[in-house]
Structure 1
C-alpha cells in the first residue's frame, strides 16, 4: 500500500509526515498512476520506487532556513509536479508556481492541486525561456527549484531569471553533480548568481550519489537572458 511505503521512506530519510500529508501523497500517487496510462508522466510506477525516487527525492530540496511561511517558489519544467508538489504538501505555507511547457501536464497538475485541496498554487503553461520574459514572473520569486530538466549550465539560464536578488536556486542533481557545478560557473555568473553550495543527499535504500546545488542570486539577470526558446539547450553558456 502506497501510504505505508511513503511513511517508511520519509521516516528513513528523517522526515515526519502528518496523517493528512500521507493521505495527500497517496492521492497524488493514485492520480499519477491513473493519468500515466493516458500520457507519459513517469517510467517509475511501483509504490516503493515512487515513494523514494519521486516523493522523498523531491523533499531532499527542503531546507528549513529557506522554506518559511509565505516564501514564493517556482518549479521550472515541473513535469509531473516534482519537486514542487511534494514540497508544497510537506510545507503547505509556501506559495508555489508550477511551470511546464506541455499543456496536458499542466492539466494533470491542476487536477492534483484541486483534488488535494492545495491553496496558493498556480499552474502555468509556458516554456522557461518565455516565462522568464513575462514581467509577472521575472525576478519575482524567492526560490526556484528544478529536477531532471537539463544540465546545470542550461538550467541556470532557465531558472535564475525568475529569482529576486537575494533569492536562491535549488537544483536537484544526480551523480554528475560535481562536474555540472564546475561546468556551470560561467552561466551562474552571467545570470547574476554568485555563491554556490553543494549539499550531498542520500535516499533510503539507494547507493547512487545525489546532491542539491544551491545558487544564491546577488545581481539582476541581464535583459538579454534567457535567450530565445531552444537557444540555451543548443548553445549553453
Structure 2
C-alpha cells in the first residue's frame, strides 16, 4: 500500500488505516467478480490500483480545486451522479475517502448493478443509490436537471456524452470526465451541442500527479441555462447519431 499512500499524499487526500483497508476489500471484490463476468480486463493489484483507484482519485483532486472555497466533498446535501459507473469507477474510490457525499450510481448492466450493491454493503458505505437504467431514460425522468455534479469515465465521445449528461444537471451544475490525452477533435466536435444544451464552453484541466501515471485531461462543463426538453433523444440515438455543427 506504499504506492497508494504516496499517491494520496500527492493528491492532498486525507486517509487512515480504515480507508486503506476498504480499498483493499474493494480490490478483492473486483478481482473475484472479474473471474465470473466482464467487469474489468485489469487483473493485477498494480493495474487496478493505478488505473481504477488512483486515476479515479484525480477526480477528487479536480473537485477540491474547482470548489476550493465551498468544501464540496463534505456537503451532504449535494447530489453527485456517476453515470455508466461499471465497477463503481470513479465514484466508489472517491466515496471511500469522502464518505459523507450523497452518491447516485447509474449502470445499464444488471450484473454490474448486482456487483455494486454487494460491494457497497461489504464496504459499509451509506447514502448510495444504485439505478439499473440507461442514461437516455434517466435524462427523461424526474431526475432530469436534479444533479449538482456528474462524473463519467470512458463512457462516450464528448458530443454523445454531452447529450447524456448535461440535461441531468441543475443550472450551475458541473460535468467532469477524464479523457487521457488531450482530445482536441472531440472538443471541437462537442462545441455545438454543449451550447444547445446550456453550457457555454469546454474547460480542460491536465492532471499529471502522481507523476508515475499517464496524464489525464479532464473536460469540465458548467451548465448556465436549461436544456431543451427534446434532449436526450431515445435509447441509442445519441451514440449512433451524435449532433455535430452543421
Q: Distance in 1 between matches of 2:170 and 2:200?
A: 13
Matched ranges for 1:76-91 at <5 A: 76-91=83-98
Partner of 1:53: 51
The equivalent of 2:165 in structure 1 is 159
**Corresponding residue number in structure 1 for 2:22:** 24
User: Do structure 1's residue 142 and structure 2's residue 148 form an aligned pair?
Assistant: yes
On the 8 A contact 1:72/1:143 being kept in 2, the answer is yes
Specify every segment of 5 or more residues in structure 1 that has no aligned partner in the other structure, as ranges. Answer: none
Secondary structure of the 2:59 match is coil
Moved over 6 A (4+): none
Normalised to the residue count of structure 1, the TM-score between the two structures is 0.93
Secondary structure of 2:210's aligned partner: coil
Q: What TM-score does the superposition give when structure 2 sets the normalisation length?
A: 0.89
Specify the SS of the correspondent of 2:129: strand
**How far apart are residue 195 of structure 1 and its match?**
4.0
Distance in structure 1 (CA, Å) of the matches to 2:10 and 2:44: 18
Cα deviation, residue 46, structure 1: 1.2
Report what 1:194 is aligned to. 200
* Greater Cα offset, 200-209 or 226-235: 200-209
| Partners of 1:210 and 1:180 in 2: CA distance | 15
Secondary structure of the equivalent of 1:67? helix
The worse-fitting range, judged by mean Cα deviation, of 26-35 and 188-197 is 188-197
Deviation, structure 1 residue 10 = 2.7
Paired residues in the alignment total 234
Distance 1:150 1:56 in 2: 21
- Superposition RMSD in Å: 1.6
Contact 1:60 1:212 in 2 (8 A): no
Task: Say whether the 8 Å CA contact 2:14–2:97 is kept in structure 1.
Answer: no
Partner SS, residue 17 of structure 1: coil
Question: What residue in structure 2 maps to residue 121 of structure 1?
Answer: 128
